[in-house]
């Protein structure tokens, strides 16, 4: 596990996965920072089924639209669907052979990320970026439902 703020290391293939529902500046920051640290960035977009099963919410934006938004970003080299099997970091590594998996440090702080030791044993690193304060999909959902 590596905190991006503690290293200037770059990797060849990077991978980041997320729901990316109601795309906002926090999502953009994560993807931009990941691309700054790798030559080729693969972005996985969680399927609706995975979002419902893991987060117990229905995405507001359809999977197809979320993928189109991610594909349109200049920082993204490849987009794929994150199925339930790919939530497991080793399964994701087996498919993409990334050198680094990127995540926001909110996953570290809140214990939401699975242990990265398994991918480290495969030669990859789990890299955390500082979470963008003041914005989240949850806060957007809450603002919409309370208005």
Stated length of the chain: 147
Under 8 Å between Cβ of 63 and 81: yes
Under 8 Å between Cβ of 1 and 128: yes
What confidence score (pLDDT) does residue 15 get?
98
Q: What is the CA radius of gyration of the chain?
A: 15
Per-residue pLDDT of the chain (147 residues; tens, 9 = 90+): 677 667 889 999 999 999 999 888 888 999 999 999 999 999 999 999 999 998 898 999 999 999 999 999 999 999 999 999 999 899 999 999 999 999 876 655 555 455 678 888 999 999 988 776 666 556 555 556 666
- The answer to whether residue 41 is domain-embedded is yes
CA distance 70 to 92: 18
Domain extent for 28: 10-45
For 112, list phi and psi in degrees, rounded to 5: -85, -20
- The answer to whether residue 73 is domain-embedded is no
What confidence score (pLDDT) does residue 70 get?
98
Residue 98 CB contacts under 8 Å (≥ 6 apart), including other chains: 11, 13, 14, 15, 42, 92, 124
Lookup: tokens for 110: 């809140």
8-state DSSP, 87: G
Beta bridge partners of 103: 128
What confidence score (pLDDT) does residue 112 get?
46
- The answer to whether residue 122 is domain-embedded is no
- The answer to whether residue 27 is domain-embedded is yes
Please tell me the total count of domains within the chain: 1
What confidence score (pLDDT) does residue 21 get?
92
Q: Taking the model in full, what pTM does it have?
A: 0.85
């Amino acid at each position: 596990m590596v905190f991006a703020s503690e290293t200037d290391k770059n990797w060849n293939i990077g991978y980041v996965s997320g729901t990316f529902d109601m795309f906002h500046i926090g999502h953009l920051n994560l993807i931009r920072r990941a691309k700054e640290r790798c030559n080729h960035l693969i972005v996985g977009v969680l399927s609706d089924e995975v979002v419902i099963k893991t987060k117990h919410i229905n995405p507001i934006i359809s999977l197809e639209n979320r993928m189109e938004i991610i594909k349109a970003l200049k920082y993204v080299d490849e987009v794929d669907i994150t199925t339930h099997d790919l939530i497991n970091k080793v399964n994701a590594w087996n498919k993409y052979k990334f050198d680094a998996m990127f995540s926001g440090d909110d996953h570290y702080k809140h214990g939401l990320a699975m242990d990265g030791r398994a991918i480290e044993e495969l030669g990859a690193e789990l890299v955390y970026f500082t979470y963008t304060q003041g914005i989240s999909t949850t806060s957007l959902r809450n603002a919409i439902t309370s208005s």
